[in-house]
Amino acid sequence: MSLIFDADKCTACGQCVETCLFGVLRLEGENLVIGEGCTLCGACVDACDFGALSLPPDMGEGPSPRPEIPPDGIWVFAEQRHGELAPVALELLGEARRLAETLQVKVSAVLLGAKVESLAPTLLSRGADKVYLLEHPLLAAFLEEPFAAALTALARQYQPEIILAGATYAGRAFIPGVAAALKTGLTADCTAFSIDVEKRLLQQTRPAFGGNIMATIITPRTFPQMATARPGTFKPLPEGYQGDGQVVRVDFDPGTAASRSRFVATVAEIKERVALSAAEVIIAGGRGLKEAKNFRLLEELADLLGAALGATRAAVDAGWIPYAHQIGQTGKTVSPRIYIACGISGAAQHLVGMQSSDFIVAINKDPDAPIFQVADVGLVGDLLEIVPALIQEIKKSRQE
Ligand SMILES: Cc1cc2nc3c(=O)[nH]c(=O)nc-3n(C[C@H](O)[C@H](O)[C@H](O)COP(=O)(O)OP(=O)(O)OC[C@H]3O[C@@H](n4cnc5c(N)ncnc54)[C@H](O)[C@@H]3O)c2cc1C
């Protein structure tokens, strides 16, 4: 598939060349040359005032030609695990209600699983007008393919205008597959939504370029508009919403999705000692710890302070600590009263997850480490000396 160019309409104004973020377009004399690497993002199509550029006809369509107002409003994927709703499902229902009031549409929750019908009343009282219920033994445990197949089939049948899901392990795993199957766009990891009322567009805001800017993304050409959102970002509604109260049971035919993956077992994640999201004090370790066993030092300090343990992606990737502890762009966002960063350089992707902490202490042997720019107190030195000394001091002062 490639960009379609109509040379008769082109005036060689160069507007498309300036707009192309990928440097794919260039003018040779009065001729437009389309080079390698076009992503079909469509920016040049929008920029051309003369209609000389267009996208191939077999893209830009959702599951069916986009109706002016898609019939089924806003959907929220009601993620559940072992029969317990993920908090983000209720958070997104609250946000969906706010968006639905602007768009004047209904909100539906999509509940996939086996024997999960008992969760429907909670969804209805927390903001859903309707619950689509798909129960099947294959949906008992989370598997990407059957979940993607189920949500795709449902979206094709009922045609929602917007689909929202949590940017959780499950959401990140299968929602892109649904967007691809529906041939529509997806904005991952959003932290804010709003509506362009005139164009009925969902404005999807998320951190970009390592958290240095907030980008607002729209999906103007395809439908449904799809986004995942960071857990903990939106507020759930209190119980008591009274909408249509409808539960629509839908049959699910897993088709080929059943044969390609198989559920083997659930391995319980190693639990955080104190939940990161609720912790008032966090001790976080990075590559400066040098090896896994040095996390024990941080654990000892954390136990003394009643703190939670955090980590950088470098420490997680090294296998020193499970992913549940990762803080940053692709981990958790935290804002404790005290954040103690040990052997952490302060990369933008880490800072974006912790820089709203009230008081930041940084221990690093490099005086130029960027973490010191956000720290309230900086200790320049070897953490393998400073942390044990801190532990001794705390123990001593407690004995006294
Ligand atoms: C798309 C993307 C997403 C990412 N998401 C995340 C994310 O969610 N979270 C995250 O953390 N990172 C993330 N990263 C990685 C990020 O860019 C950095 O690579 C990572 O944060 C670095 O981790 P670090 O500070 O532990 O290691 P380093 O950058 O290697 O820093 C180690 C620090 O330890 C110090 N040090 C070494 N020895 C000692 C000692 N004995 N005593 C004291 N100090 C010492 C060094 O001076 C150095 O400053 C992401 C990257 C990308 C590209």
Which residue is closest in CA terms to ligand 1's atom 9?
328
164: buried, middle or exposed (CB in 10 Å: 19+, 13-18, 0-12)? Answer: buried
Q: Which has the minimum average pLDDT: 56-65, 194-203, 253-262?
A: 56-65
Q: What is the signed CA dihedral for 263, 268, 272, 276, rounded to 10 degrees? A: 30
Question: Which atom of ligand 1 is closest in space to residue 286's alpha carbon?
Answer: 26
Stretch(es) of the chain classified as CATH 3.40.50.620 = 74-260
Calculate the average pLDDT of the chain: 90
With bands split at pLDDT 50, 70 and 90, how would you rate the model's confidence at 60?
very low
**CA 268 to ligand 1 centroid distance, Å:** 27
89, 77 Cβ separation under 8 angstroms: yes
**CA 288 to ligand 1 centroid distance, Å:** 8
Question: Which atom of ligand 1 is closest in space to residue 386's alpha carbon?
Answer: 42
Question: Which atom of ligand 1 is closest in space to residue 371's alpha carbon?
Answer: 49
Distance, CA of 112 to CA of 160 (rounded, Å): 16
Is the pLDDT score of 143 beyond 80?
yes
Per-residue model confidence (pLDDT) at position 70: 79
In eight-state DSSP terms, residue 57 is T
**CA 315 to ligand 1 centroid distance, Å:** 8
CATH 3.20.20.220 fits 4-54, yes or no: no
Per-residue model confidence (pLDDT) at position 271: 54
| E strands in 46-161 | 53-54, 74-77, 80-81, 84-85, 107-113, 130-135
Is the pLDDT score of 68 beyond 80?
no
Which residue is closest in CA terms to ligand 1's atom 18?
347
Query: Residue 331: CB partners within 8 Å, gap ≥ 6?
Result: 313, 316, 323, 325, 353
Per-residue model confidence (pLDDT) at position 98: 97
Distance, CA of 104 to CA of 102 (rounded, Å): 6
Per-residue pLDDT of 267-296, as tens digits, reads: 765 555 667 877 899 999 999 999 999 999
In eight-state DSSP terms, residue 98 is H
What number is the average pLDDT over the span 75-95?
Answer: 95
Q: Which residue has the tokens 């302060």?
A: 346
Per-residue pLDDT of 336-371, as tens digits, reads: 999 999 999 999 999 989 998 999 999 999 999 999
Kindly give the pairing relationship between strand 107-113 and strand 74-77: parallel
**CA 365 to ligand 1 centroid distance, Å:** 13
353: nearest Cα among 383, 332, 374:
332
With a Cβ cut-off of 6 Å, ligand 1 is lined by 286-288, 312-315, 326-331, 343-345, 347, 349-350, 353, 363-366, 369, 382-384
313, 326 Cβ separation under 8 angstroms: yes
Which residue is closest in CA terms to ligand 1's atom 40?
382
**CA 307 to ligand 1 centroid distance, Å:** 21
Which residue is closest in CA terms to ligand 1's atom 37?
288
Per-residue model confidence (pLDDT) at position 61: 43
Distance, CA of 112 to CA of 99 (rounded, Å): 23
Kindly give the pairing relationship between strand 53-54 and strand 74-77: unpaired
Q: Which residue among 330, 374, 387 has the greatest number of ligand 1 atoms within 8 angstroms of its CB, and so is best to mutate?
A: 330
What number is the average pLDDT over the span 151-171?
Answer: 94
Per-residue model confidence (pLDDT) at position 122: 98
Which residue is closest in CA terms to ligand 1's atom 41?
382
Distance, CA of 257 to CA of 254 (rounded, Å): 5
Distance, CA of 247 to CA of 93 (rounded, Å): 16
Is the pLDDT score of 233 beyond 90?
no
Assigned CATH class of 74-260: alpha beta
76: nearest Cα among 98, 49, 48, 104:
98
Is the pLDDT score of 117 beyond 80?
yes
Per-residue model confidence (pLDDT) at position 77: 98
**CA 41 to ligand 1 centroid distance, Å:** 33
CA angle (87, 227, 180) in 5-degree steps: 125
Distance, CA of 61 to CA of 181 (rounded, Å): 11
pLDDT-above-70 percentage for the chain? 94
146, 136 Cβ separation under 8 angstroms: yes
Q: Is the pTM of this model over 0.75?
A: no
Question: Which atom of ligand 1 is closest in space to residue 311's alpha carbon?
Answer: 11
Rg (alpha carbons) of the chain, rounded to whole number:
25
Stretch(es) of the chain classified as CATH 3.30.70.20 = 4-54
Stretch(es) of the chain classified as CATH 3.40.50.1220 = 276-399
List 287's β-bridge partners, or say none: none
Fold of 276-399: Rossmann fold (3.40.50)
